[in-house]
Every structure is written in C-alpha cells, then in structure tokens.
Structure 1
Amino acid sequence: MSDAQMKPLANPGPLGLVGFGLTTVLLSLINAHILPSGGEAVVIPLALAYGGLIQLIAGLLEFRTGNTFGLVAFLSYGAFWWWFAMLLLFSGNGLLDLSAAGPTIGVALLLWGVFTFYMWIATFRLNRALWFVFLTLWITFLLLGIGDTFGASAIGTAGGYVGILCGASAMYTSFAEVVNATFGRVVAPVGARD
C-alpha cells in the first residue's frame, strides 16, 4: 500500500490530555483540601491506569505520528503518574521509608517544574490551550515543590488550586480536539497560532 493510499492516523493527543487532566483534577482537589487526603487511595489506581498507562500509550502513538512534543510530554507525565502512585503504594505498605527523605520529594516536584517549564516554552509554537495547560502545570509543580520543600502548606494548597485549573484546561483541550475532529470544523476553540 502506498503512502497516498494509507488511511490517516488518529490524533492520540486528546486521549493523553484527558488521562492527564482527569487525574490531575482529582489529585489537585486533594492538594487544595477540597477532598480529604484519604482520597489518595482513589488516586493511586487512577494514576496507574488512566493518568499513567493511557499517557504512556498516547506517547507511543505520538511517536508513530512524528510528534516529538507529544511523545516527550505524554511518556514523561505518564511516568510521573507511575512514580507518584508507586511512591504512595510503597510508602503506605512499608516498602519505602520516607521519614528521612526530608525535602527530597519537594525537590523532585521542583525538578518536574523545571522540565515542565522547558516544555511550556515549546508550546509557544502550539495552540494557546496547550500553552495554558503547560503554564499552569509548571506553576503547579513550583508551588507544590516549594510547599513540600519548605513546609509551607498554604503554598502547597495554592498549588492544588492551580492544579485544578491546569487539569480542567487539559480536559477542555481534549474535548475541543475530539469535537473539532468529529465535526470537521472548529466547534470549541483552542486558540490556534497563526
């Protein structure tokens, strides 16, 4: 079959975005103290199955479409959710002792913020909806990292609120890409760059 006869590939981006967004909203509701911290027991399987696995699949599919940004973003944040879930599982079951970790988790979140900041710079060439997702995500990591590193719970709570905005904007971007592709026209704008 020639390239001209090949059926176009589906866009895996909306799948990865909703996996990321939905999981981020749920955890951020806990970080913002809107839901109880015991709700992390619900986040763990969601982080493994939807935030993690779905993003890993979407990232691998982005490889097939030649989208370097999508590949790096979805594989990285899918791995983030696996790291987060395993951290909670292992520490909650006595397989990891985090009592002597000090600010290490906060520093890890700050490093995720650095990574997200450079991914945000790449979104300057993408649509404005993705630009906003990555803007709010690096701010979320920054606030959560500062809050955890320095024991500033109010800053961590603020990170939870920004995370809700980030996750909701990722879900909107997924929605927009799905309905726009389905209808074959712009139904939900994403702020396309010229």
Structure 2
Amino acid sequence: MTELSAPPLSAPANGNIPAVAAGPRIGHALPIGAAGFAWCSLALGLATLGVLSPAGAPVILAGTFFYGGIVQLVAGFFALAAGTTFAAAFLTAYGAFWIGYSAIEVYVVPHIVESVMSAPANAGLAKEVVAAQAAHTVTQSLGIFLIAWLVVTLIFTVVSLGTNAVTVTAFLLLDLTIVSLLVAYLGASAAGAPLSAALHIAGYAEIVLAGVAFYIVLAELVNETRGRALLPLFPLVRG
C-alpha cells in the first residue's frame, strides 16, 4: 500500500504545531481483481466442461463483463496508482480480456455468423453447409485471438518468477488453459466443432486455476488483515 502525500498544514498564529492529518491511502488492489479473475475462471471452466447449459450463458457473460472485466480493470488502475506495476499490468490486461470475451460472445460471434450466412457467394449453398462454414470461421478466429493472448500471458509468466510460487503456478495453469483452447479451436472440424479432448483439458485446467487464484485472494486478505503471513505464498525472491 502506498500513502498519498497530504497537503502541508500551515502553523497557527499561536505557534502550536497542529496535528498532521493522515493522508488518504490506496488499499491492496490485487485480491480485488484476482477474485474477479478466479470467479470467471471457475464459471468458464464449468461451462467448458458442459456442466452449465448453453441457455445459461448470459448469466455467465454478465459476470465476466462486470466482475472479471470492469472490477478487475478498475483494480488494475488502483494498483498502478499504488506503484505495483506488475499487478497493474496483468489486472488491466485480463480485465480487458474479459470485457473483450463478453463482447465477442454477445456481439461479434453473431455478427460473424450473420455475415457468412448472408454472403452472396454462399447464396446457392445448403443452409447446413453455410452454418458449418460460419462455425468454422468462428473457431478459427477464436484461435487467432488466443494466440495473441498466449504471448501476453507468457510474458507475465516469466515476470512472475520474481514473485512467489503460487502466482507462478497460476500463470502456468493459465498457459496450459490457453494452449489447450488453441488446440481445440485451431484443430476444429470442418463443421466448427472444437476438439473435445483438448476442450476438456482446458476446462479442468480453468477450474484448478480458479482454485489457485481463490487461494491467492484468501491469503492476501487474511495475511493483510492479521498482519502476518498465516497463509504462505512461498516467495521466490528474498529481501
């Protein structure tokens, strides 16, 4: 936490030194943003494994937009103001990711499907063939989208080696999740069906990732509240 400097107080006429008012402080932003990321990872992991019905997707997307996206993005800005650049970098990055993911599911995917279905070049084709082409276009586009995010996540993984073992584990699980989704989407069938085995690996990795992220949130909050390290994070750099 970083204290913001308070405006200096002028000395009163009687010469008495006034009490210095405590300046405003920025709280610990990491557990706030990490909780949103953990929630989204758990919900998406369950959805990926087919535990949740596709009809309930709007409920999940509301959470990914507001909790995983907006809250995490705001937490990242507060982390930046507090001087914790690494926390600010990944909180704002994944806050933007969850906002983008929500927009893709709500607006972009339907637009792609509509564009392919209504393309003049596909006017003479059977509706089932065009629908399969649209689904394949969506999965391939998601694969390209995730390639860029894998690069960003790998950078954060390398940087996390200077933090603690639990954080490194979280980023490694995120790497595994993204790679599994890449294999599932880029290896999709001609009808756009992702590879089920890779998709299931991604789903289980997301759930484990959520558990690790929730532990980070719990440890950060408990350790700060109690003023000592009750729940270890196993720092990799001493001093």
TM-score using structure 1 length: 0.91
Equivalents in 1 of 2:25, 2:164: separation in Å? 21
1:125 aligns to what SS in structure 2? coil
1:188 aligns to what SS in structure 2? coil
Is the contact between residue 26 and residue 78 of structure 2 (CA under 8 Å) also seen in structure 1?
no
Equivalents in 1 of 2:183, 2:56: separation in Å? 22
1:31 aligned partner: 48
Is the contact between residue 54 and residue 78 of structure 1 (CA under 8 Å) also seen in structure 2?
yes
Larger radius of gyration: 2
Q: Shift of residue 68 of structure 1?
A: 1.6
1:108 aligned partner: 145
2:161 aligns to what SS in structure 1? helix
Is the contact between residue 173 and residue 206 of structure 2 (CA under 8 Å) also seen in structure 1?
yes
1:134 aligned partner: 171
Q: Shift of residue 32 of structure 1?
A: 2.0
* 1:55 corresponds to 2:72: yes
* 1:42 corresponds to 2:59: yes
Q: Shift of residue 8 of structure 1?
A: 4.6
The match for 1:124 among 161, 175, 180 is 161
* Mean CA deviation greater in 70-79 or 28-37: 28-37
**Which has a greater percent of helix?**
1
Is the contact between residue 59 and residue 75 of structure 1 (CA under 8 Å) also seen in structure 2?
yes
User: Could you report, residue by residue, the CA deviation over 1:101-120 in whole angstroms, capped at 9, with x for unpaired residues?
Assistant: 45121121132122111101
Uncovered stretches (5+) of structure 1, i.e. residues with no partner: none
* 1:174 corresponds to 2:217: yes
Structure with more relative contact order (C-alpha pairs < 8 Å, separation 6 or more): 1
Q: Shift of residue 71 of structure 1?
A: 1.4
Q: Shift of residue 159 of structure 1?
A: 0.6
TM-score using structure 2 length: 0.75
User: Could you report, residue by residue, the CA deviation over 1:63-93 in whole angstroms, capped at 9, with x for unpaired residues?
Assistant: 101122111101110111111111111146x
1:67 aligned partner: 84
Is the contact between residue 22 and residue 168 of structure 1 (CA under 8 Å) also seen in structure 2?
no
Equivalents in 1 of 2:112, 2:59: separation in Å? 20
Q: Shift of residue 40 of structure 1?
A: 2.1
Equivalents in 1 of 2:147, 2:222: separation in Å? 35
* Mean CA deviation greater in 34-43 or 116-125: 34-43
1:143 aligned partner: 180
Is the contact between residue 110 and residue 146 of structure 1 (CA under 8 Å) also seen in structure 2?
no
Is the contact between residue 32 and residue 161 of structure 1 (CA under 8 Å) also seen in structure 2?
yes
Is the contact between residue 146 and residue 182 of structure 2 (CA under 8 Å) also seen in structure 1?
yes
- Percent identity over the alignment is 26
Equivalents in 2 of 1:37, 1:165: separation in Å? 22
User: Could you report, residue by residue, the CA deviation over 1:103-161 in whole angstroms, capped at 9, with x for unpaired residues?
Assistant: 12112113212211110110000011111111100110110111111122210111110
The number of residues matched between the two structures is: 193
1:187 aligned partner: 230
1:88 aligned partner: 105
Equivalents in 2 of 1:49, 1:58: separation in Å? 12
* Mean CA deviation greater in 155-164 or 33-42: 33-42
Equivalents in 1 of 2:112, 2:227: separation in Å? 50
